[in-house]
Structure 1
Amino acid sequence: MSWIDIPDGSPFGADNLPLGVFRHGDQEPRIGAAIGDQIIDLAPVASAELADVFAQPTLNAFLALGRPVWSETRAWLLDLVNDRDAVEPHLIPQSAVTMLLPIEVGDYVDFYASEQHATNLGRLFRPDAEPLLPNWKHLPVGYHGRAGTVVASGTDIVRPSGQLKAPDAAAPTYGPSQRLDIEVELGYVVGTPSALGKPVSVEDFHEHVYGVVVVNDWSARDIQGWEYVPLGPFLGKSFATSISPWVVSLDALESATVDLPAQDPPVLPYLAGKNLVNYDITFEVRINGHLVSTPPYRDIYWSPAQMLAHMTVNGASIRTGDLYASGTVSGTEQDQLGSLIELTKAGREPITVDGKDYTFLQDGDEVTITAHAGPIGLGEVTGRITPAVS
């Protein structure tokens, strides 16, 4: 790219071109593609068939067009960036725009797909029992989240309040969460919907999923710890889920695919497939600008195709704009853990952040999670903690 100045280390090279929704000044929101530190305003340079789609305030209309159009559009974008006369008049600095939520989220499902993370939490919560529950290696464990509280990167996160019960207390109390946490996750964006009553097979993953976003699925551990038995996460998880503004296509990530780790015991037939893959993605987690962790995604136990197949095997349908996430991504090393509850052993062993002991999030903290797959960047998701509403 001799004519577009792409800064060294930019996550958005000419072979990435993720899509997002931006607002420039007082103009209506519309869709652009990121390149370097700029945005290509796509509606003015698109064909008549796509111009209206790229003038929309979400990606949903584009996503609904399906895999053939997604692939044709990527090929067009790869050619377009070489056409200086067409592109240059429609380049806008990213610093001059406001990035918005890229999709209108239909449903949100959160999985628990990292064996390392599930094992770490099992050891913390059930030290005298097997860390993994009997079902964990037979199915991708997940739960339904709240689509209405999926928010754009940069949205402030109000500290949630709820019922809290200390282990030695006779009864719960009400108040702000004191154990507010992060969860580093990879999110998958659904494009093509499915029919109610018709499961989606692992082989059809690429026909339904357009791309990925970086996710911080905030968690109030003390609220969750009191409420989650027997029906699982509820208010401790539903207050906010932040996602990055740029949706990176699966096509752009093709060079980052890796084989799925061996699964033992063998999975049931609907979860088995010949071409199951993961992605070699590395996250970086910063609190107030200080690096605290670098979780790796490549060793996630359950593939995104298996998550999608399990999510629909009972006949549940998926819709354009649905989002499902991997659950917390953690590696085997201390500096690869994707949540503070793991990093601090449930608060018992503080980590050092900016020279100070640190356990859970404090008011005013800003968390930034970035991710990259080699030269392909996924951008960042950021959120700042504000005090609980009295």
Structure 2
Amino acid sequence: MTQITCRPLPESLETQKRGSSAGALFWKPFIPGVFRSPGPWGGLRPTMPSLLLLAAALLSSWAQLPAEASSWWSLAMNPVQRPEMFIIGAQPVCSQLPGLSPGQRKLCQLYQEHMAYIGEGAKTGIKECQYQFRQRRWNCSTVDNTSVFGRVMQIGSRETAFTYAVSAAGVVNAISRACREGELSTCGCSRTARPKDLPRDWLWGGCGDNVEYGYRFAKEFVDAREREKNFAKGSEEQGRVLMNLQNNEAGRRAVYKMADIACKCHGVSGSCSLKTCWLQLAEFRKVGDQLKEKYDSAAAMRITRKGKLELVNSRFNQPTPEDLVYVDPSPDYCLRNETTGSLGTQGRLCNKTSEGMDGCELMCCGRGYDQFKSLQVERCHCKFHWCCFVKCKKCTEIVDQYVCK
């Protein structure tokens, strides 16, 4: 595969005319009165009525919910009705979605057809988080449909950093694919320029994943919640906002920069005398693997009086926009703690023979473990029959399993 190495990262969404060629990016004037304007957000200059409405929405929203009590991640837990399925006379879908900030709710009203895919992206991110941490004391467990991960996300730990990053990555992934599949009216196939290193006799076309649009929309939607918050310069709360924005960006960039060129052969009897190529997202597991590496090397930061994040240990390299950062040490995940949101490891399966984090000694935090026998049923002795199906038998096996006390 030929990898794209020269694509600049998109900074802002450009407004395109409706009459442009098929698949071209189209973006409506962005959320009047919510974000600063004029500027890179592409919004209109706010009017006094819009500012008053925004202030009322902000006050009512934050008065009803404690900080971080709910999140747009809840879209993964509550299926979002697609616009074509709306019932005449029903309440607007955006007013029924929990966890949205005022700016995100406004975006929902403008782009209702996107919401189902934001939910899919959040679900993809959560599943990947649970896969990457399946053998850790904290295993990315969801606790309810509103806050999703519970109070543990109120701590600016490296686990929180990974969760924000992989969730933002999931949205880029889902929106980019939805564009390619023609599910969204404001975007189509990728219109990335032909790579310079692509052989001359290869065709650049097909319908690629629109990662440019996916990146830009995810940036506006996911970051909206953080940009609406107004904390004192140099406060711990501002530090947490900057941490979240950094990790959101790291997740989006992981998807964007891992997009590759995919090609399909054409020719008589598969001779591959001609190739058609297009831009294609990497498998999300690869994105998760890269973000997990970033988690392992995440940088400890602190907020300065000037309202900037700085390294706790200045001997380390300054983090890049692709790196994860955190501002709080991780809580003790060994024991259940209602204050920190830790669920503990009691009842977790462990590996008796492993010396790693999944081993019973580390997973159970020295408390010991119980042994029990489990009956497992698996497919076995599979045979291919002409034509064309595979027939298998079911085999049972009794295995020893171990759970933490």
Shorter-chain TM-score range: under 0.3
Q: Which of the pair has more CA radius of gyration? A: 2
**Of Structure 1 and Structure 2, which has the larger fraction of its residues in helix?**
2
Q: TM-score, normalised by structure 1?
A: 0.28
Q: TM-score, normalised by structure 2?
A: 0.27
- Greater RCO structure (CA 8 Å; 6+ sep): 1
**Of Structure 1 and Structure 2, which has the larger fraction of its residues in strand?**
1
